[in-house]
Structures are given as structure tokens and as C-alpha cells.
Amino acid sequence: MRQKIAAGNWKMNNTLEESVALAQALVDAGSPSGVLTILGVPYVYLDKINQIVAGAENIEVAAQNAHQELSGAFTGEISVKMLNSIGVKYVILGHSERREYFGETDELLLAKTNTVLGAGQIPIFCCGEPLAIRKAGTHITYVIDQLKNSIFKLSAEDFSKIIIAYEPIWAIGTGETASPAQAQEMHEEIRKAIAEVFGNEIAEGTSILYGGSVNAANAKDLFSNKDVDGGLVGGASLKADVFVQVMNGF
């Protein structure tokens, strides 16, 4: 059975005090049975938040990015060695905002993925299409090509460790959400593509999350689809009461 996951991406939000209060509220609520909760925390809070969730069952933290090199003269960047030193197990890679604002390419993201895997961490690898591609009806080809040009080049052993997050760019922070049918369609196509490259066993074992204006009102409908294994949640993950409802949406 695939892992059910409620992942929150806090992005560049909250003070330390607000972050601590949010994490503590989620720990107090507890992750539902059978659900892995992952908190995508800003770098400067990772150590503190990891200490808060350390004793909680099925709650982990994730970095929102990592550099492809292990060390060096890369001012302002964070390495997987640094993340390992504070016990971070998950790293979000390839978020559409990283691709768009910082020019991250499929080639670069493959390098980052290899570095993260080499450090024993688990990538949450993002993919997704902009509105123009969706309107043109080429969204499936676009997303599968993102995967073919990056993580489909991994070995089967390495790929089997990855979590995928499908995030239609037109639905991120816009209030627009892919319908449950649209989400299921893309997740099913991604799983089919995985099976073609790595086989059915790995495809059926890969958790594929939906990201794009997931909230308390729509989580249950989205997560009820057979190929949607959870969500990568943005704004709704910043409010404990709302995110708890998302966590309980399975």
C-alpha cells in the first residue's frame, strides 16, 4: 500500500514564534493513523521545528530546496550535509516557483536529486504545467517530458525512493484548483509513465501528491481518487486548524 502523505510547504512565511506555535499545534493534534505529515520549513527554522516534532509519530520536516554540490563557495546556499547534520530527512525539489523564479532546469534538478539521494534523504520532486499548456491540451505530454528529462534517468532503485508532487502551476496560490477528475487524470498518466520505465511494482509503490490550492474544503474529494496519495499544500498549511483538516482528508 502506498504511503498517504500530507505535506505542507510553508514557503517564505512566518516568524520563528509563529512557526513554533504552528508546529506545536500540529504535534498536539497528531498525524492521523497511516498518514505521514511532512512540514516544508524555511531553512532558518529547520533545526528548531525538527526538535519540536522529534517525539511525534509520523511527523517529519523537509527543506524547501538544497544545492547540488556538497560544499563550496556558494554564498547563501544550503547543502545536504548541512541538512543531514540537523536530521532533515526530506527535501522538496523542483517546485514551480524554483523553476520559474530561479531558472531551475530539468538537468539541474536531476543533479540535485542525485545529491539528495546520495545523502540518504528523500526528494519530494515537483512537476506541473502552466496555464497556456493546459489550455493547449498538451499538459500530459508536458509533465511526462519533465519527468523523462530528469528523474526518469535514475536507476530503478533510486527512483523507488522518490515522492512525486504534481502541481498545476495555474492552480498554485490562485484559488483555482484542478478538479478531482483533472487531478486523477494526470496522476494516472504519471503512474502509467512510471510503469513503462520502471515497471508496475515501482509505479504502484510511488506516492504521487497533488499540489495546487488544496484546502480543508477540497482535500477529501481530491484524496479520494485512487492515484492521488495526498497533497503538497501551500497557504492552507500555515493555519493549524485548516491543515489538520487536510491531514484528516483521507
CATH of the domain at 234: 3.20.20.70
Q: What is the pTM of this model?
A: 0.97
Band (108; pLDDT cuts 50, 70, 90): very high
| pLDDT exceeds cutoff 80 at 103 | yes
Query: For this structure, is 139 an active site residue?
Result: no
pLDDT at 128: 97
Distance of alpha carbon 165 from its chain centroid, rounded?
5
pLDDT tens digits for range 40-98: 999 999 999 999 999 899 999 999 999 999 999 999 999 999 999 999 999 999 999 99
- In the numeric block, the cell 520505465 is attached to 197
Please compute the mean of the pLDDT values over residues 183-205 and round it to a whole number: 98
Structure confidence at residue 171 (pLDDT): 84
User: Long-range CB contacts (< 8 A, 24+ apart) of 191-200?
Assistant: 191/227, 193/144, 193/147, 193/148, 193/152, 194/147, 194/159, 197/152, 197/159, 198/156, 198/159, 198/160, 199/156
* Domain coverage including residue 174: 4-247
Catalytic one among 60, 97, 104, 167?
Answer: 167
Q: With a cut of 90, say whether residue 182 has pLDDT above it.
A: yes
95 is catalytic: yes
The count of domains in the chain is 1
pLDDT for res 134: 92
- Residue 208 confidence (pLDDT) above 80: yes
User: Of 95, 104, 129, 139, which is the active-site residue?
Assistant: 95
- 159-175 tens-digit pLDDT: 999 999 999 998 887 87
pLDDT value at position 1? 82
